[in-house]
Amino acid sequence: RMLLDKEDSVSLVSLQSREKTRGCAGCNGKIRDRFMLQALDRYWHEDCLKCACCDCRLGRVGSTLYTRANLILCRRDYLRLFGVTGKCAACTKLIPAFEMVMRARDNVYHLDCFACQLCRQSQHTPAAISSANPKKS
């Protein structure tokens, strides 16, 4: 049984030759590979731990996965489905939680909307770009 609303790390674990063969939480088959993934207190074939939405392999995408509503998700899909959406300070349209944004003081902007008020020149600088829903430390 899976916990709801959980962020968990994914670890690559080496299967020792004398170790008892473990079952995969994804396909229920035996893991005979040299390496397996450990996440959500269970073991997985590298190909079986995937995002329920986009099917990306979570062992390759990064070392974090998210669970909610009995779904295992990558960060992008978790934010897309359950993240907080804000409004752009310039155009007042919604900003999806996974979209990259520009921040200035307490304001948040779409990348295309962030421009100088005098000359309308775009002000994209790498240091100012962030995620609309920053990861909490």
Q: Please report the domains of the chain, with CATH numbers, ordered by start residue.
A: 6-81 (2.10.110.10), 84-136 (2.10.110.10)
How far is the C-alpha of 98 from the C-alpha of 106, rounded, in Å?
19
SS3 assignment, position 119: coil
* Radius of gyration from C-alpha coordinates of the chain: 20
**pLDDT value of position 89:** 92
H helices of 29-103, where?
58-61, 75-82
SS3 38: strand
* pTM recorded for the entire structure: 0.60
What is the model's pLDDT at position 123? 61
pLDDT tens figures, 9-65? 888 888 776 667 889 999 999 998 888 999 988 999 999 999 999 999 998 756 789
Among residues 32, 40, 62, 36, the alpha carbon closest in space to that of 48 is found at 36
